[in-house]
Amino acid sequence: MALKLSTRVSPAAHAAALAAAGVHPLLASIYAARGITSALQLASDIGGLSPIGGLRNVERMAALLADSIAAGERLLIVADYDSDGATACAVGIRALREFGATVDFLVPNRFEYGYGLTPEIVALAKKVKDPAVLITVDNGIASVDGVAAANALGMRVLITDHHLPGAVLPDAACIINPNQAGCEFPSKNLAGVGVMFYLMLALRAELRKRGAFEGKSPPNLGALLDLVALGTVADVVKLDDNNRILVQQGLQRIRSGKTWPGIAALLRVAGRDAARASTYDLGFVVGPRLNAAGRLDDMSVGIECLITNDLYAADRLARQLDELNRQRRSIESDMHEDALAALAELKPQDGSSLCMFEPDWHQGVIGIVASRLKERYHRPVIAFARGNDGEIKGSGRSIAALHLRDALDLVAKREPDLIVRFGGHAAAAGLTLREKEFERFRTAFENVAQTLLSAADLERIIETDGALPLKHLTLDVARVLEHQVWGQGFAAPTFDDEFTVARQRVVGARHTKLRLVRDGCEVEAMLFSHATPLPERIRAVYRLSVNEWNGSETLQLTLEHWQGA
């Protein structure tokens, strides 16, 4: 199938203004194509963050926490089992302990309790920790029953979340969420860890006002920004101006050797150089290893790795997480092959969505399978695995044209008794069904997808930054690009050019190493997960990357798509 490419439009006036402000000319064009109009949007100083007070209820929640600390009450953080939840929990644990709080954490095992603050988790919290206050991180906005159970047991609930609220909010003591009604915080894209970081900033300000730091320096919350950066990138939230500052500040700490032992150990076990850490390392190296704990085992392992100050403990926990990630990759590969085999008998392109269920699939890995299939077929995909008590758990990933949580909400309105529970974002969501209702749900979801999507929406178009001027095909430019903050909603630059294939060989049994020629300029390239020969001439979509080998660095192109030219 021919590549369908679209070149991002880079307004010349904006690119010229950025270049005039001292931005590298290539970067100026790339940034302008991503909506940057002023160099002020590229400032990474922490003072450029949106003001704390704009986050609705944050100062009220800070006062409630300050009261609890003063009263010596036991606090318990109830975390989510992904990287965002783990980092948000770590930020809360580290900061609250610095502030003198008595605080512990509890993270639901996804296989026993499912997602969020459920009545069962509330009962467990009461039994094993007996806290006065429950603090949710990266969950809670949909936990109506769980909050009611906590209230009945005499525990107050403080909800910190960023997921989209439903029609009914829990009866919590206080809620902060940039996406709740009436919140005027300008960045609606804060990850759960970002929300928790803002709460800790507000709490420090409240404690300072109460004289808690007289005669001593208040805790440096900037030391938590590596955790904030990790959770923000790994949760694939949009990197708007505010989030880019958080990520850039965190990366600077990691690169300068000021990161926490757990993050340093996770980079080390993956063979990555912390001094050159990038958003790629956070999203595709550290994040998956951290997520593996929640997918296959217990996210407590990941949280312990992030909150320990013991170098040996961090190394041990990082190795454990690395091994879990290897197991996750093996399980994912088998499930992906199962899915492709099942789809070989169907015609995915004939529908507007894909829903798949296999009883033997692993609950913790279905989200990755859904993501892989979404990329392959460019349709919203929901993959299901068997849960408990006759239920199945689904994890969905969507294309840009369909808001997945809103689509599930529409299914729920059309078929009120069909979905047991659901929640999520535009791009990703989770839900629970009764197993016997799978076919009914598949039909209902397909009907909604057909209502919301056009044929054009289902046609995958690859956006690039166009042809790369030959003068920029250099190692120095690759280093400049690698050093920037890229991610969701602020895509890393890719380029589109034709090359002659001078040499090619298979490496590692499944990848192809290439030597490409363009207008007399030769450059090394890699095509991952492809081991069959390429034609003599190709048109390729590629990224510039820095290849480090035996202490030396060379320019390398990473091919993302190709076709014969």
DSSP structure class, residue 553: E
What pLDDT is attached to residue 426? 86
Domain presence at residue 189 = yes
Domain presence at residue 334 = no
Whether residue 441 contacts residue 418, with contact meaning beta carbons closer than 8 Å, is answered with yes
Domain presence at residue 544 = yes
Whether residue 21 contacts residue 7, with contact meaning beta carbons closer than 8 Å, is answered with no
What pLDDT is attached to residue 282? 97
State the pLDDT confidence band at 260, using cuts at 50, 70 and 90.
very high
Closest CA to 162 of 146, 139, 186, 134: 139
Query: How far, in Å, CA of 111 to CA of 121, rounded?
Result: 13
Amino acid at 481: L
Q: Do 416 and 500 belong together in one domain?
A: no
Q: Do 130 and 100 belong together in one domain?
A: yes
Q: Do 307 and 355 belong together in one domain?
A: no
DSSP structure class, residue 286: I
Helix axes 287-296, 225-234, angle to 10 degrees: 70
Domain presence at residue 313 = yes
Q: In what order do the strands lie in the sheet with 391-397?
A: 354-357, 381-386, 391-397, 428-434, 419-424
Amino acid at 503: R
Domain presence at residue 547 = yes
Q: Do 136 and 169 belong together in one domain?
A: yes
1: pLDDT strictly greater than 70: no
The pairs formed by 38-43 with CB atoms below 8 angstroms and a separation of 24 or more are: 41/241, 42/18, 43/245
Coil/strand/helix, residue 545: strand
Q: Do 297 and 410 belong together in one domain?
A: no
The residue among 343 and 526 whose pLDDT is bigger is: 526
Closest CA to 317 of 363, 348, 274, 286: 286
What pLDDT is attached to residue 2? 63
Question: What is the mean pLDDT of the segment spanning 328-355?
Answer: 85
- What total number of domains does the chain contain? 3
State the pLDDT confidence band at 389, using cuts at 50, 70 and 90.
confident
Q: Do 167 and 281 belong together in one domain?
A: yes
Domain presence at residue 26 = no
Domain presence at residue 329 = no
Amino acid at 228: V
Query: How far, in Å, CA of 329 to CA of 291, rounded?
Result: 12
At residue 11, φ and ψ (nearest 5 deg) are: -55, 120
Coil/strand/helix, residue 226: helix
Q: Do 74 and 219 belong together in one domain?
A: yes
> What pLDDT digit, counting tens, does each position of 397-433 carry?
999 999 999 999 999 999 999 999 898 888 889 999 9
State the pLDDT confidence band at 336, using cuts at 50, 70 and 90.
confident
Q: Do 469 and 530 belong together in one domain?
A: yes
Domain with 81 in it: what CATH number? 3.90.1640.30
67: pLDDT strictly greater than 70: yes
Domain with 513 in it: what CATH number? 2.40.50.460
Q: Is the dihedral of CA 551, 555, 560, 562 positive or negative?
A: negative
Question: What is the mean pLDDT of the segment spanning 439-467?
Answer: 95
Rg (CA), the chain: 24
State the pLDDT confidence band at 341, using cuts at 50, 70 and 90.
confident
Q: Of all helices (H) and strands (E), which one includes residue 515?
A: strand 511-518
What pLDDT is attached to residue 352? 96
Report the share of the chain in percent with pLDDT over 70. Answer: 99
Whether residue 337 contacts residue 361, with contact meaning beta carbons closer than 8 Å, is answered with no
281: pLDDT strictly greater than 70: yes
Query: How far, in Å, CA of 143 to CA of 148, rounded?
Result: 8
Domain presence at residue 302 = yes
Q: Do 312 and 405 belong together in one domain?
A: no
pTM of the model: 0.90
64: pLDDT strictly greater than 80: yes
3-state SS record for 257-272: CCCCHHHHHHHHHCCC
Q: Do 436 and 535 belong together in one domain?
A: no
Residue ranges making up the domain that contains 473: 462-564
297: pLDDT strictly greater than 90: no
Instruction: Mark which of 431, 452, 473 sits at the end of a domain.
Output: 452
- Average per-residue pLDDT for the chain: 94
